[in-house]
């Protein structure tokens, strides 16, 4: 399966107000901004499908529903009985979970009022429906990527001594920043150090201070690194997995990832991660570390002029 930019060329609905209303089975759907008083209800709703909502739940557990650290605004879509039918985080990244097409349409309408999104990400079928209702006539995404969702519930046994992984410290900040910037540029073509150096530095430093960057160093050289983007009791989402090019092909990377997985599974029931479907070697790497495929995701990067 492959994805092209033309897969996401569609049309946009008309926008009538900042509170979008739609009919669905004779019920009205209303999108409203969510507040911290809604946290318990929202977490219950999102926790029905933890592998698909781990990032949104992680933001909420870390910062609350209303916080500049979320880099966006949480919206809820309710029916006429006041029941949640969808939740979306609309901001730098647009993420959503919804019960039905009408809720997706409602979020797409609200998204038109927010011009700061860098990307839209989610399950293939959900994002395809969202994009059909979001894109303006004739507009195309800057970049569209098909990704594989992999999950791990039990790590493989590691022969021999286990790698001695440690949380990164502030002394590792510059190295971690450079590696993560290179990974992001390879993924989407934008270097966050050049785009927002201070903001990127603060976000990486905060992750390090919360002991969510793990590493293995040898002879003052970083061998392995991985970031915990989001952590909940049900699911932990990993990103920024890196193996030093001088260490690749020696089995060190999968041993480190397997050991990290063992450590993290003491706090979450399962781990997950995403990577581009074209990275065949990565697929083999993650499978060797015990991960298995759970689905297809789409990430749409937006043009600056569309943001």
Would 11 be classed as within a structural domain?
A: yes
Type and span of the H or E element at 272:
strand 271-276
Domain count for the chain, please give it: 2
Domain check: are 133 and 19 in the same one? yes
Q: pLDDT at position 134, please?
A: 82
Residue 105, SS3?
helix
**CA dist., res. 67 & res. 74, Å (int):** 10
pLDDT above 70 (res 20) = no
**CA dist., res. 95 & res. 87, Å (int):** 9
Helix H segments across 88-146?
101-111, 124-134
**CA dist., res. 49 & res. 272, Å (int):** 13
Would 288 be classed as within a structural domain?
A: no
Domain check: are 29 and 73 in the same one? yes
Domain check: are 142 and 186 in the same one? no
The CATH number of residue 74's host domain is 3.40.630
Take residue 116 and report the two structure tokens written for it: 């700061």
Type and span of the H or E element at 139:
none
The CATH number of residue 256's host domain is 3.40.630.30
Take residue 109 and report the two structure tokens written for it: 């309408």
Residue 137 banded pLDDT, cuts 50, 70, 90: very low
pLDDT tens by residue, 160-209: 899 999 999 999 999 999 999 999 999 999 999 999 999 999 999 999 99
Would 223 be classed as within a structural domain?
A: yes
Would 281 be classed as within a structural domain?
A: no
Q: Which residue has the tokens 């507009």?
A: 139
Domain check: are 183 and 232 in the same one? yes
Q: pLDDT at position 27, please?
A: 55
Domain check: are 44 and 127 in the same one? yes
Domain check: are 196 and 142 in the same one? no
What is the distance, to the nearest Å, from the Cα of residue 63 to the centroid of all Cα atoms in its chain? 16
Domain that holds residue 92: 5-146+300-306
Q: Give just the sign of the alpha carbon dihedral 303, 305, 306, 307.
A: positive
Would 286 be classed as within a structural domain?
A: no
Domain check: are 140 and 205 in the same one? no
Would 283 be classed as within a structural domain?
A: no
Domain check: are 140 and 190 in the same one? no
**CA dist., res. 144 & res. 299, Å (int):** 6
Q: What is the pTM of this model?
A: 0.89
Domain check: are 177 and 131 in the same one? no
115 touches 91 (CB < 8 A): no
Tell me how crowded residue 20 is: count the other CB atoms within 10 A of its CB: 23
pLDDT tens by residue, 67-94: 999 999 999 999 999 999 999 999 999 9
Domain check: are 142 and 9 in the same one? yes
Among the listed residues 74, 23, 81, 79, the one whose alpha carbon sits nearest the alpha carbon of residue 46: 74
Would 83 be classed as within a structural domain?
A: yes
Would 277 be classed as within a structural domain?
A: no
- For 32-43, what is the mean pLDDT? 98
Take residue 258 and report the two structure tokens written for it: 């397997």
Domain check: are 22 and 117 in the same one? yes
169 touches 208 (CB < 8 A): yes
Q: pLDDT at position 305, please?
A: 53
Domain check: are 135 and 41 in the same one? yes
**CA dist., res. 93 & res. 74, Å (int):** 11
Residue 109 banded pLDDT, cuts 50, 70, 90: confident
């Amino acid at each position: 399966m492959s994805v092209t930019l033309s897969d996401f060329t569609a049309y946009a609905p008309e926008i009538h107000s900042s509170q979008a209303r739609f009919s669905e089975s004779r019920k009205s759907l209303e999108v409203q901004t969510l507040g911290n008083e809604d946290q318990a209800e929202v977490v219950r709703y999102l926790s029905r499908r933890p592998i698909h909502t781990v990032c949104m739940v992680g933001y909420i557990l870390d910062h609350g529903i209303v916080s500049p650290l979320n880099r966006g605004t949480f919206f809820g879509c309710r029916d006429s009985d006041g029941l949640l039918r969808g939740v979306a985080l609309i901001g730098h990244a647009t993420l959503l979970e919804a019960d039905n097409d009408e809720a997706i349409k409602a979020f797409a309408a609200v998204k038109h009022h927010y011009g700061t999104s860098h990307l839209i990400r989610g399950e293939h079928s959900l994002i395809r429906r969202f994009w059909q209702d979001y894109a303006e006539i004739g507009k195309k995404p800057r970049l569209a990527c098909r990704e594989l969702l992999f999950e791990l519930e039990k790590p493989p046994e590691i022969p021999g001594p286990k790698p001695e992984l440690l949380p990164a410290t502030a002394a590792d900040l510059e190295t971690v920043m450079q590696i993560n910037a290179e990974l992001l540029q390879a993924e989407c073509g934008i270097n966050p150090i050049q785009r927002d150096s201070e903001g990127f530095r603060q976000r990486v430093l905060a992750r390090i201070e919360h002991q969510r960057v793990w590493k293995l160093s040898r002879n003052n050289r970083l061998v392995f690194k991985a970031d915990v983007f989001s952590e909940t009791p049900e699911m932990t989402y990993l990103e920024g997995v890196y193996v030093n090019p001088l260490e690749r092909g020696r089995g060190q990377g999968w041993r480190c990832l397997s050991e990290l997985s063992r450590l993290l599974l003491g706090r979450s029931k399962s781990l997950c991660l995403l990577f581009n479907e074209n990275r065949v070697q990565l697929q083999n790497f993650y499978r060797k570390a015990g991960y298995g495929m759970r689905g297809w995701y789409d990430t749409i990067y937006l043009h600056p002029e569309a943001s």
